[in-house]
Chain A
């Protein structure tokens, strides 16, 4: 471990120090320090092109950063790919949701971590157990779903988002990362997804939320980090800031 300026505080679930990433000659972000506290909803805001999504992608192993260190759960953890991040306990809700339309709700919730029963050398799916656990997962987050046997194709955008979040939270993840979870949703569905994020927080799942919506960020998050032009320029407690202050921080007018 190299001597960093200061090791992130012990209540950080995910943190980074001096993180940089560029694509060819284009700098996505430079020298970023960031931390998400355990059990909190941490928001990252910024204008288009500020580097939010790239930062998140570096943190969950989609991109490998060019410099700097990432700490997960107190230890330096450079993730080479998203699979490693997932195994360590970071679940990402992908912007395209990564749902399979033709499979049922239960099948999607357990995709690639199916429950099986072994009969000699053969492993058969335990579909009943998966259906029951799927119902339990959905009701734990009070997600209203007509049936876990329904194909995902027939669900609304909000329901799909809810399933994707439920899958991320239901795997026993320590941290759920969401990139613009309500960008494509209507008013009511946005409300449902926001309620879902609050419920995750009540169940002490740490959340990192990337959003454009300052009001939403103030409603949902505990701590807000502001990026501008590839740098982390400010961090504020959500309870101690105003919409105007956030606008000023994001645009650089402060």
Chain B
């Protein structure tokens, strides 16, 4: 058993089995479909809509689709970090609203658009930090805490704004919304940058491994000296930061800061995370998956609109797809 000759076969066996499984084996494995649900779904939707309504595949429509998806992509990334720790951030869309209102008010007060943007992002990051502290130090379930901050910051937004929208007439935001570089508008580039940075943070840093370890088995991670509470607080702060970036994109897009919560943003961020193959039980996550999930949900709405399907049917379609995706996830190994 303990003879040194055994070392050799161990190494060769390791090398042989580390090669990738064959394509056909991959296609027969249900967990492959579960891992790539969002990609398969996106490709499927593009084909169906492309045949039913060729305008869907026009460059102009695809560019509009990507532009519309940018906010959801950024939010889904924030939600992914939280869900990877086996948590959930229900205050995400409310934080977007708070960020937008602070941006509008600071800008209206004449403090300049850059300071307004910075303060908006700082405020939403602070909301995320507060969520994290309450969940870890306060030992309150994530669901309850973020439901509480959802309500709390909704109220705060209404109080600050007096319930009135604020116009934000800024050339900087106008450029951000309408300008483009190469084939994509600036918001798309912001989303792409967010995807790249988040991907590197998740897969190529110690923080990313510790995040997944904390989400996977929190006691084991703690036993190995990982400060799991800090990791969780960081995840919620990242989520808040993403909400801040999304609020800039939102105000730039609609040109005003409104004290209205876009609830579909929250639900779609969770839906994109689920479609992206991220386990709601934590410990397993990717960034590309949820980003493509967000694209898929936006493509669904875009395609249905092009097909003149009533907007009333859109939530129904989103709901059906999310539940279907969750069913496929059961095969995830």
Question: A: which residues have CB within 8 A of B?
Answer: 82-83, 86, 94, 96-103, 107, 111-112, 114, 116, 122-125, 127, 135, 138-139, 142-149, 153-154, 191-192, 195, 198-199, 202
Q: Which residues of A contact B217 (CB under 8 A)?
A: 98-101
Given contacts A100-B283, A111-B226, whether A125 and B204 have CB atoms under 8 Å apart is yes
A-B contact pairs, 24 of them (CB 8 A): A82-B225, A83-B225, A96-B220, A100-B221, A100-B283, A101-B217, A101-B283, A102-B212, A103-B212, A103-B216, A111-B213, A112-B225, A114-B206, A124-B200, A125-B203, A135-B11, A138-B10, A138-B14, A142-B2, A142-B4, A142-B10, A144-B13, A153-B333, A199-B2
> How far is B213's CA from A145's CA once the two chains are assembled, in angstroms?
21
Determine whether B223 belongs to the interface, using a CB cutoff of 8 Å to chain A: yes
Query: Min CB distance, A72 to chain B, in Å?
Result: 18
Given contacts A99-B220, A124-B204, A198-B2, whether A145 and B14 have CB atoms under 8 Å apart is yes
> How far is B1's CA from A86's CA once the two chains are assembled, in angstroms?
30
The residue in chain B whose Cβ has the minimal distance to the Cβ of A117 is B204
- Which of B210, B212, B217, B283 is packed against the most chain A CB atoms within 10 Å? B217
Question: B: which residues have CB within 8 A of A?
Answer: 1-2, 4, 6-7, 10-11, 13-14, 17-18, 200, 203-206, 208-210, 212-213, 215-217, 219-221, 223-226, 279, 283-284, 333
Q: Which residues of B contact A94 (CB under 8 A)?
A: 220, 223
From the candidates A86, A112, A153, A202, name the one contacting B226 in the complex (CB within 8 A).
A112
Q: Which residues of B contact A135 (CB under 8 A)?
A: 11, 14
- A125:B205 contact, CB within 8 angstroms: yes
Given contacts A83-B225, A86-B225, A139-B11, whether A147 and B18 have CB atoms under 8 Å apart is yes
Given contacts A111-B213, A125-B206, A195-B2, whether A98 and B225 have CB atoms under 8 Å apart is no
Given contacts A146-B13, A148-B14, whether A107 and B205 have CB atoms under 8 Å apart is no
Query: Min CB distance, B210 to chain A, in Å?
Result: 7
Q: Which residues of A contact B226 (CB under 8 A)?
A: 111-112
The residue in chain B whose Cβ has the minimal distance to the Cβ of A83 is B225
> How far is B25's CA from A225's CA once the two chains are assembled, in angstroms?
54
Q: Which residues of B contact A107 (CB under 8 A)?
A: 209
- B283:A147 contact, CB within 8 angstroms: no
Q: Which residues of A contact B1 (CB under 8 A)?
A: 142, 191-192, 195
Q: Which residues of B contact A153 (CB under 8 A)?
A: 333
Q: How many A-B residue pairs have C-beta atoms within 8 angstroms? Tell me.
A: 102
Given contacts A83-B225, A111-B226, whether A100 and B2 have CB atoms under 8 Å apart is no
The residue in chain B whose Cβ has the minimal distance to the Cβ of A154 is B333
Query: Min CB distance, A237 to chain B, in Å?
Result: 22
Given contacts A112-B226, A195-B2, whether A139 and B200 have CB atoms under 8 Å apart is no
Q: Which residues of B contact A98 (CB under 8 A)?
A: 217, 219-220, 223-224
> How far is B221's CA from A253's CA once the two chains are assembled, in angstroms?
43
From the candidates A111, A116, A146, name the one contacting B17 in the complex (CB within 8 A).
A146
- A100:B220 contact, CB within 8 angstroms: yes
The residue in chain B whose Cβ has the minimal distance to the Cβ of A97 is B220
> How far is B211's CA from A112's CA once the two chains are assembled, in angstroms?
11
Query: Min CB distance, B131 to chain A, in Å?
Result: 24
> How far is B210's CA from A25's CA once the two chains are assembled, in angstroms?
39
Q: Which residues of A contact B209 (CB under 8 A)?
A: 103, 107, 111, 114, 125
Query: Min CB distance, A198 to chain B, in Å?
Result: 6
Q: Which residues of B contact A103 (CB under 8 A)?
A: 209, 212-213, 216, 283
Query: Min CB distance, A104 to chain B, in Å?
Result: 10
